[in-house]
């Protein structure tokens, strides 16, 4: 298998310019500049985006949406479709105060019932804020009513996986349209939504307002898994403002930093989310000093061992792990699982096709606890690795954003192996049935069945 996953990604570096300003100039600038740039109307229309359901759990749900101006917001929600029983949850902030924001509003609904349908709508109100005693309120926008279901052992066991959309809107719309058609209980967004995110506007477009698909998560929540590209760029360091983390109550104090890992029940399926981090060593010249993925992976190992021992996870007939970079490849010589500091001519590229460290740390735990399937991404080419006697778990690698073509410019050529996928998992007839949908050619690329595990 030849993998050319980087062909469409543009490289580049940020250029910065800095200058010095004298005290007199600084004083004049300060006098001419309001204390807050959002202190009054700026001529732009006030708009809000569609809500995105994020970080679903048995008793909680995250709701995040984009806004064009500084906004205070809340969610009205209840079990009745007309919201006549509605409660209100305000946007997240520091203890005792709301967290109004100029790019997004984030609200956490807690105290919910497992496997229960709720109806909700967002309410957004613009704020003109100079300081705490000099502020006013602008337009209020009340959103449409949507609904969602919480997770839990009694929920319907039906998920979908999307991956490697890389802010390319045609393939993104193809996968989202397929997800809407399949209507699962939850979606796993398996990383590399972005290329690199250097500014908040780009981040908002990618994660909250994707072109032609802004309603992609209004009724079906998604569980987020970082991809290596989602670590790149200055704004991805503030990704929590756009993609909500898991609730702190879901993990032990030892694991306080593991805000993205999840272990949840979706009906008969235990769903485990792991973060493979960057695809280069921490010491690689491109990221040296900016990435600490190796220790991050080690920290997740203890979390994984405990998660797989949880009674609700152990009781699930089926167990699936989701991660971005594959943790197995049948051709480790041509497709390395680790790389030298700069490629060094040792391998064909300077990035890892699969994650050797994660294989060494996590694969023994997956085997010991009877995890049947790993669903990965990263390679931009659909693949299925059947289980073997030495590796009892299967691995499915989702396709990327290429629409039957690879390369750039004069080197661009047809490649029928390149297509985006939606990987669907569903319990039917006592088995976990997993279908890989090729959404470009509108066909089924693969279909696999798994019997209940023995733990």
pLDDT single digits (tens) 17-39: 333 334 344 444 434 444 455 55
Is the pLDDT at 203 greater than 50? The verdict is yes
pLDDT tens-digit profile of 132-175?
888 889 999 999 999 999 999 999 999 999 999 999 999 999 99
Q: Domain residues for 271?
A: 158-450
Q: Tell me, yes or no, whether 122 and 262 share the same domain.
A: no
Q: How many domains does the chain have?
A: 2
Question: 402: Cβ–Cβ under 8 A, 6 or more apart, which residues?
Answer: 8, 171, 380, 415, 418, 419, 420
Q: What count of other Cβ atoms lies within 10 Å of the Cβ of residue 249? A: 9
Which of 10-14, 278-282, 373-377 tops mean pLDDT? Answer: 373-377
Residues 132 and 187 in one domain: no
282, 249: one domain: yes
Q: Evaluate whether 218 touches 259 at the Cβ level (below 8 Å).
A: no
Please give the distance of CA 31 from its chain centroid, rounded to a whole number.
43
- Write the pLDDT tens digit of every residue in 219-262: 999 999 999 999 999 999 999 999 999 999 999 999 999 999 99
Picking from 16-20, 38-42, 446-450, which range would have the lowest pLDDT averaged per residue? 16-20
Q: Please tell me the distance from the alpha carbon of residue 24 to that of residue 21, in angstroms, as a whole number.
A: 8
Q: Tell me if 27 is assigned to some domain.
A: no
For residues 133 and 169, state if they share a domain: no
Domain boundary among 98, 130, 149: 149
Asked whether residue 439 is assigned to any structural domain, the reply reads yes
Please determine, for residue 218, whether its predicted confidence score (pLDDT) is greater than 60.
yes
Question: 83: domain CATH number?
Answer: 2.60.40.10
Instruction: Express each pLDDT in 254-290 by its tens digit.
Output: 999 999 999 999 999 999 999 999 998 888 877 778 8
Which among 252, 296, 254, 249 is positioned nearest to 274, based on CA atoms? Answer: 296
For residues 123 and 165, state if they share a domain: no
pLDDT band at 338 (very low <50, low <70, confident <90, very high): confident
Q: Are 375 and 398 in contact (CB under 8 A)?
A: yes
Q: What's the predicted TM-score (pTM) here?
A: 0.90
Question: Residues 125, 94: one domain?
Answer: yes
Co-location of 230 and 102 in the same domain = no
The C-alpha atoms of residue 178 and residue 421 are separated, in whole angstroms, by: 9
Residue 111 is assigned to a structural domain of this protein: yes
Beta carbons of 399 and 416 less than 8 angstroms apart: no
At residue 344, does pLDDT exceed 70? no
Over range 76-99, report the average pLDDT. 93
Quote the pLDDT of residue 38.
Answer: 55
Residues 430 and 375 in one domain: yes
At 345, is the pLDDT very low, low, confident or very high (cuts 50, 70, 90)?
very low
Q: Give yes or no: residues 323 and 251 share one domain.
A: yes
Same domain, 418 and 368: yes
Is 280 part of any domain?
yes
In a domain, 182, yes or no: yes
The answer to whether 124 and 106 are in contact (CB under 8 A) is no
Mean pLDDT over the full length of the chain:
89
Q: Over range 315-321, report the average pLDDT.
A: 98
Share of the chain above pLDDT 70, in %: 89
**CATH number for the domain harbouring residue 166:** 3.60.21.10
Which pLDDT does position 39 carry in this prediction?
56
pLDDT band at 454 (very low <50, low <70, confident <90, very high): confident
Inside any domain, residue 31: no
> Are residues 136 and 200 both part of a single domain?
no
145 and 181: one domain?
no
């Amino acid at each position: 298998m030849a993998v050319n996953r980087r062909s469409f990604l543009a490289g580049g570096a940020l250029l910065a310019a800095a200058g010095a300003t004298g005290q007199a100039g600084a004083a004049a600038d300060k006098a001419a500049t309001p204390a807050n740039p959002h202190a009054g109307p700026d001529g732009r229309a006030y708009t809000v985006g569609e809500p995105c359901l994020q970080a679903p759990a048995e008793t909680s749900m995250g709701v995040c949406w984009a806004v064009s101006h500084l906004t205070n917001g809340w969610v009205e929600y209840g079990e009745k479709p007309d919201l006549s029983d509605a409660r209100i949850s305000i946007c997240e902030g520091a203890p005792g105060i709301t967290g109004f924001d100029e790019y997004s509003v984030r609200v956490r609904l807690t105290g919910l019932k497992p496997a229960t349908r709720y109806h909700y709508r967002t309410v957004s109100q613009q704020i003109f804020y100079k300081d705490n005693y000099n502020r006013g309120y602008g337009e209020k926008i009340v959103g449409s009513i949507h609904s969602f279901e919480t997770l839990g052992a009694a929920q319907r066991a039906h998920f979908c996986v999307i991956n490697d959309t890389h802010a390319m809107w045609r393939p993104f719309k193809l996968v989202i349209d397929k997800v809407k058609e399949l209507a699962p209980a939850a979606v796993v967004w398996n990383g590399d939504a972005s290329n690199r995110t250097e500014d908040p506007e780009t981040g908002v477009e990618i994660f909250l307002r994707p072109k032609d698909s802004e309603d992609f998560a209004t009724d079906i929540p998604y569980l987020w898994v970082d991809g290596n590209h989602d670590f790149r760029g200055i704004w991805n360091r503030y990704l929590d403002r756009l993609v909500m983390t898991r609730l702190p109550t879901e993990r032990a104090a030892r694991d306080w930093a593991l805000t993205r890992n999840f272990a949840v029940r979706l009906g008969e399926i235990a769903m485990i989310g792991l973060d493979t981090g960057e695809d280069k060593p921490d010491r690689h010249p491109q990221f040296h000093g900016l990435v600490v993925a190796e220790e991050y992976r080690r920290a997740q190992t203890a979390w994984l061992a405990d998660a797989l021992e949880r009674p609700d996870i152990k009781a699930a007939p089926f167990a699936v792990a989701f991660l971005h970079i594959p943790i197995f490849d049948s051709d480790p010589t041509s497709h390395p699982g680790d790389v030298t500091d700069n490629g060094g001519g040792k391998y064909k590229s300077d990035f890892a096709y699969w994650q050797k460290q994660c294989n060494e740390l996590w694969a023994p735990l997956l085997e010991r606890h009877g995890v049947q399937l790993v669903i990965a991404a990263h390679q931009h080419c659909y693949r299925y690795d059947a289980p073997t006697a030495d590796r009892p778990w299967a691995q499915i690698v989702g396709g990327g954003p290429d629409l039957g073509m690879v390369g750039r410019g004069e080197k661009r050529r047809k490649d029928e192996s390149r297509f985006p996928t939606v990987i669907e998992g569903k319990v039917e007839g006592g088995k976990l049935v997993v279908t890989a949908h090729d959404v470009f050619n509108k066909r089924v690329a693969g279909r696999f069945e798994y019997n209940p595990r023995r733990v």
